[in-house]
Amino acid sequence: AKSWTMVRHFEGAPKPEDFKLVNTELPSLKDGELLLESEFLSVDPYIRPYSKEKLKEGDIILGSQVARVVESNNAAFPVGGYYVAYAGWTTHFISDGTGLDALPSNWPDNLPRSLALGAVGMPGVTAYYGLLEICKPKEGDVLLVNAAAGAVGSLVGQIGKIKGCKVVGSAGSDEKLTFLKEIGFDEAFNYKTVSSLAEALKTASPEGYDCYFDNVGGKFSDAALQQMKDFGRITVCGAISQYNDSVPPSGPYIQPYILFKQLLMQGFLVWTWKNRYPEAQKQLLQWIAEGKLKYHEHITNGFENMPAGFIGMLKGENVGKAIIIV
Ligand code: NDP
């Protein structure tokens, strides 16, 4: 097996020299075990904050994949079956079947299996429950989402449109703004080039926002909270603008807005919804089949390029879900 391991803990933005490619010979299979081969791997922002607590130097980097069973001593997992696994950045691995998730049973033949890591996988389920269960969008609401051209954000905006919202997105390049318009966002702005976030938010929706799906945190949230309508709802899904910070964040300076606007602000972790994945996946697959939900993938080819794919995603090089093809 080829695997990417962590040479040293990340400091600031992850760098190529933090990763090392190692070759290991896997042992032969015991009874009940199976050998899987990764087909697609996922690079996700959570890897950056979670590595510190979950990894020690020399460990395989955290991550998930779609993998195929290539050898099996376990009748429940026959050769040729495809599963989503959390085996980290590796081409091959041995499992006893624990923690392997079969692809949804109604997976259409014409859909790439990589979507099990994106629009129909963890990011899709995040967008679905994070938006519907916390922001609770209603017809006519104005919804704001940042990192809007990414895996989660692009789905949040489209689900908002399905629910009858006016949707405003922000992203870090003009190419991404074009993409947002293509997938149905009503308004989009480039947070890197606007002279004032507050003005950009006001221009996009002079009446303010009912729902705010936050993937970014930091200064963006400071500005966004000021533009919320009374009784607005906020899903705190991510804080990617702060993942590379070495000093813990302080504040929140925005508390008076939460008070006087009587806002509801709740953190969201998709793992909490593990038991309800199938329900969300069924709906996401249906919306895709009906053409109501468009997906986009940003593909990096070659396992050897996985660190570059990860670093690039954190810098915003991806439109849609960042995926590695082995
Ligand atoms: P994306 O596909 O959105 O990729 C990350 C994007 O973040 C980049 O493309 C970049 O886009 C943007 N970004 C990077 N740095 C900054 C910055 N300093 N300020 C603003 N934007 C930045 O990733 P995901 O869709 O997988 O994840 C999006 C967010 O959702 C992350 O915060 C992630 O941690 C969170 N998440 C949370 C989950 C949960 O259970 N709570 C589950 C899954 C994801 P741009 O060009 O716009 O800068």
- Which pTM value belongs to this model? 0.98
- Measured in Å, residue 221 CA sits from the centre of ligand 1 at 14
What per-residue confidence (pLDDT) applies to 248?
A: 79
Q: What is the CATH number of the domain that holds 110?
A: 3.90.180.10
Q: Are residues 114 and 133 in the same domain?
A: no
The encoded tokens of residue 245 equal 């910070």
Q: Which atom of ligand 1 is nearest the CA belonging to 126? A: 42
Q: Which of 240, 245, 272 to mutate to test the pocket of ligand 1 (most atoms within 8 A of CB)?
A: 240
Q: Are residues 150 and 247 in the same domain?
A: yes
Q: Are residues 250 and 130 in the same domain?
A: yes
Report ipTM (2 d.p.). 0.99
Q: Ligand 1: which residue has its CA nearest to atom 4?
A: 150
- Measured in Å, residue 252 CA sits from the centre of ligand 1 at 21
Give domain status of residue 291, yes or no.
no
Give CA–CA dist 256/302, Å, rounded: 49
Q: What is the CATH number of the domain that holds 141?
A: 3.40.50.720
- Measured in Å, residue 216 CA sits from the centre of ligand 1 at 6
Give domain status of residue 287, yes or no.
no
pLDDT along the chain (326 residues), means of 10: 97 97 98 98 97 95 98 97 98 98 89 98 98 98 98 98 98 98 98 98 98 96 96 98 87 83 97 96 97 98 98 98 98
Q: Are residues 132 and 108 in the same domain?
A: no
* Helix axes of 151-162 and 277-289: crossing angle, nearest 10 degrees: 70
Q: Are residues 83 and 127 in the same domain?
A: no
Q: Are residues 165 and 262 in the same domain?
A: yes
Q: Are residues 21 and 66 in the same domain?
A: yes
Q: Are residues 212 and 138 in the same domain?
A: yes
Structural domain total, the chain: 2
Give CA–CA dist 313/75, Å, rounded: 38
Ligand 1 site residues, Cβ closer than 6 angstroms: 44-46, 123, 126, 147, 149-153, 171-173, 176, 215-216, 237-238, 240-241, 268-270, 313-314, 316, 318, 322
Angle at 241 between CA 237 and CA 243, to 5 degrees: 80
Q: Are residues 141 and 264 in the same domain?
A: yes
- Domain containing residue 208: 122-271
Q: Are residues 262 and 309 in the same domain?
A: no
Q: Ligand 1: which residue has its CA nearest to atom 39?
A: 269
The encoded tokens of residue 82 equal 């495809």
Give domain status of residue 142, yes or no.
yes
SS (H, E, C) the chain: CEEEEECCCCCCCCCHHHEEEEECCCCCCCCCCEEEEEEEEECCCCHHHHHHHHCCCCCECCCCEEEEEEEECCCCCCCCCEEEECCCCECEEEECCCCCEECCCCCCCCCCHHHHHCCCCHHHHHHHHHHHHHHCCCCCCEEEECCCCEHHHHHHHHHHHHCCCEEEEEECCHHHHHHHHHCCCCEEEECCCCCCHHHHHHHHCCCCEEEEEECCCHHHHHHHHHCEEEEEEEEECCCHHHCCCCCCCCCCCCHHHHHHCCCEEEECCHHHHHHHHHHHHHHHHHHHHCCCCCCCEEEEECHHHHHHHHHHHHHCCCCEEEEEEC
Give domain status of residue 283, yes or no.
no
Give domain status of residue 228, yes or no.
yes
Q: Are residues 126 and 150 in the same domain?
A: yes
Q: Are residues 113 and 251 in the same domain?
A: no
What per-residue confidence (pLDDT) applies to 252?
A: 66
Give domain status of residue 286, yes or no.
no
